[in-house]
Amino acid sequence: MNSPSDLRRRGANNAKSPKGKCRTRSRGRDTASAKSPKPTPLSLSFLPDDHPPPPPSGRPITPKEKVGQFLKKRATSLKKLPSQKRFWFTIGTLFGFILPSFLLAPKVLYVTGVTETDLMDDFVTKLLVPFIDDFVPKNPMGEGRIKAPGPGLLLAKEGAKAKHPVFLVPGFITTGLELWEGEACAKKYFRQRMWGSTTMVQNMLQDRDCWGRHLALNPKTGMDPDKIRLRAASGFESADFLIGNYWVWARIIENLAEVGYDQSNMAMHSYDWRLSPKKLEERDQYFSRLKASIEVSVNALGEKAQLVSHSMGSNVIFYFLLWVSQSASKGGGDGGKDWVAKYVAGHVNIAGPLLGTPKALTAILSGEMRDTAEMSPFEPMLQNFFGREKRRDMFSTWGSLWTLMSKGGNAIWDGNLVTFTDGKEGKEAAEATNSALAKFGAAEGRTTEEFIDVLVAWGGGHGHDYHKRIDISFAQSKVGGKQTESSTWHDPLTSPLPYAPDFTHYCMYGIGLDTEHAYYYKKNSNQDGHMPYVLDSSVHDADADVRYGVKMGPGDATVPLISLGYMCRSGWTKGRKGRKLNPGKSNVVTREYLNGGGLGSDLSDPFRQGPKAADHVDIMGNTQMIEDVVRIATDWHGGIKEDVVHSEIDEIVKRVDVGKK
């Protein structure tokens, strides 16, 4: 990576204005407005003139009721607008509402008789929530269904039929979380989704602190906070759609249904994506339930199971395959060494970050990532509403994020994962906050190993043994060693696959999209909360592909290519390493999907990337990927056996393997 000074110099040169011109903003007040008479008390005269009739009781209509009827009328008329206009109108309305709520003095709202809470209640329930339900494309099973036949229907016409029982395992944040016990501020949401629905949006906007407390875990245990219980929703409804009608698994489920799948031979095994794998079993018996469900289906149907996972769900499945093969005395599921060979035909890994993702590191360190960095013009507003220290405090309690930290060190992750633009000044920031971070910013660049060592020692501010409490080890153990410790079962570079010669592991992922690879950090001059470092969004270099302090590289816009493809292209297949990490010589297939999507590419679903999308989430609607999944599940014409590789993954793998020798 280039030095911070070089990048700043380039950014400064690129940002120079033409000679004789300068970009300034007037801050003076209009002289006319300065001479205007003293304003009268604020009224609701901005509402329409066609005043509604008084309530049935005959009493005058209250300001709050007037605001509510106005918003309701606007929401009704909004539905008549074209979808894109409706979208941008509401986004503008949202910013237009939030901004004044931070700037207006409380007494201004008091004059109207309407409180900030009243406005927020009316805005969320009468405009924002109806909008979310209305603008997102409809359920593809119903009115908004794609006109062209899907791959499932086409294969069904050829004669494909359901064969293997299918178990679907969703990814990070794509499962709804329901409230079963909560504080007084959330009691009204009992058994409603605090994550993954319009209820979440309503609660987050009305009381962000209440919402944040319920989403966070206990940092001392990695489990539920006192008197708060969120649990994963169950069934297909838990992850087919997320907020409103934003589909995730819906299209895969629909196409599998076309060839004969239903609840009798297909199941969604959702989980609380905040928990570390060990805590999933300890609190929810997740792996025990999955094991029992697979055994029942395989014994009843007479066919081995296909496990289909997306994103972090692939890491969960990898952990499960190791857990189920180990004895109970070692913390495993006591299935025996041959359980996988007996019950599982294969694992379809869709966009799985098997070697982690850099996003997890920055989320734990500062609550930031590219998404927030690119919002730098709105960062003060975002910081005021849900600040980076609040985000980081919440993220760092999620054991799942610790399992997603980058694996393999610098041998896998070429170059420094983090570069400090403050040089030795960063050391002073750390010393003032936490001794474990004292040496963190002393050097300009930090290797992946050093970065992880410091984060582990720091424990996200929760103590140096936090990783032990959630049972995650980051030790670079001998490759392919006999790892019976559950703390290493999240790491495919350390823990070998179970012995299963007929098992097939599929790596299926999108390519061709810029993805976060490394970061530039600086000393936090504001020292808000306990945030010694923040992303330096001023660092730009188009030549080095650095934007807003984030170094970009190949991937699926969320997970880097090396994490998506390394295990299937080398880790389980090549040389001495492959023999140790894949002792049963299980089959390995790689399927890459070159990005051909973009917003608006599918007019029936204009807010998604289209049927050729390679994006980390929208690949779940990629028709070629769906066809491959259906072929694998039905074993139609022998399923999928050929590799399809478009990217430079083999060249990257070769450089990594040479560097590790």
Tell me whether residue 125 is exposed, middle or buried, using C-beta atoms within 10 angstroms of its C-beta: 0 to 12, 13 to 18, 19 or more: middle
Tell me whether residue 20 is exposed, middle or buried, using C-beta atoms within 10 angstroms of its C-beta: 0 to 12, 13 to 18, 19 or more: exposed
**Alpha-carbon distance 345 to 342, whole Å?**
8
Which range, of 14-18, 281-285, 446-450, averages the lowest pLDDT? 14-18
Q: Are 205 and 107 members of one domain?
A: no
Q: Are 126 and 183 members of one domain?
A: no
Q: Are 548 and 454 members of one domain?
A: yes
* Residue at which a domain ends, from 114, 135, 156: 135
pLDDT in tens, 471-490: 777 665 444 445 557 888 99
Can you read off the two tokens belonging to residue 326?
């180990």
User: Residues 63-92: what's their mean pLDDT?
Assistant: 49
pLDDT in tens, 381-430: 445 556 777 888 888 899 999 899 899 888 888 777 888 886 544 444 44
pLDDT at site 288: 98
pTM of the shown model: 0.78
Catalytic residue from among 197, 238, 297, 311? 311
Q: Are 199 and 126 members of one domain?
A: no
3-class DSSP assignment, residue 244: coil
Number of H helices, E strands in the chain: 27, 15
Q: At 210, give phi and psi (nearest 5°).
A: -60, -45
468 vs 221, higher pLDDT: 221
- What is the extent of the structural domain holding 451? 358-405+409-475+513-553
Residue 5 is among the residues annotated as catalytic for this protein: no
Can you read off the two tokens belonging to residue 513?
């999209």
pLDDT at site 379: 47
**15 falls within a domain:** no
Which range, of 58-62, 91-95, 414-418, 498-502, averages the lowest pLDDT? 91-95
Non-local (6+) Cβ contacts of 433 within 8 A are: 527, 530, 532
Task: Quote the mean pLDDT of the chain.
Answer: 77
**69 falls within a domain:** yes
3-class DSSP assignment, residue 296: helix
User: Residues 433-445: what's their mean pLDDT?
Assistant: 48
* Residue at which a domain ends, from 76, 111, 135: 135
Tell me whether residue 585 is exposed, middle or buried, using C-beta atoms within 10 angstroms of its C-beta: 0 to 12, 13 to 18, 19 or more: middle
Q: Are 102 and 195 members of one domain?
A: no
Q: Are 415 and 538 members of one domain?
A: yes
Q: Are 413 and 517 members of one domain?
A: yes
Q: Are 529 and 393 members of one domain?
A: yes
Most confident of 19-23, 429-433, 511-515: 511-515
Q: Are 46 and 182 members of one domain?
A: no
Query: Apex CA 350: angle with CA 346 and CA 355, to 5°?
Result: 95
**495 falls within a domain:** no
Q: Are 421 and 549 members of one domain?
A: yes
**644 falls within a domain:** no
Can you read off the two tokens belonging to residue 53?
């009739």
Catalytic residue from among 616, 618, 628, 647? 616
**319 falls within a domain:** no
Q: Are 220 and 98 members of one domain?
A: no
To the nearest 5 percent, what fractions of the chain are helix, strand and coil? 45, 10, 45
Label the pairing between strands 305-310 and 344-350: parallel
Q: Are 107 and 214 members of one domain?
A: no
Contact indicator for 452, 556 with CB cutoff of 8 Å: no
Catalytic residue from among 491, 541, 556, 615? 556
pLDDT at site 487: 85
* Residue at which a domain ends, from 135, 162, 192: 135
Can you read off the two tokens belonging to residue 657?
């393997």
How large is the angle between the packed helices 198-206 and 116-123, nearest 10 degrees? 170
Residue 49 is among the residues annotated as catalytic for this protein: no
**28 falls within a domain:** no
Q: How many domains are there within the chain?
A: 3
How many residues appear in the chain?
A: 661
Q: At 558, give phi and psi (nearest 5°).
A: -130, -45
Residue 616 is among the residues annotated as catalytic for this protein: yes
pLDDT in tens, 84-119: 443 444 444 444 444 444 333 333 344 444 444 444
The single-letter code of the amino acid at 274 is R
**106 falls within a domain:** yes
pLDDT at residue 43 tops 80: no
**532 falls within a domain:** yes
41 C-beta neighbours (distance < 10 Å), count = 7
pLDDT at site 484: 57
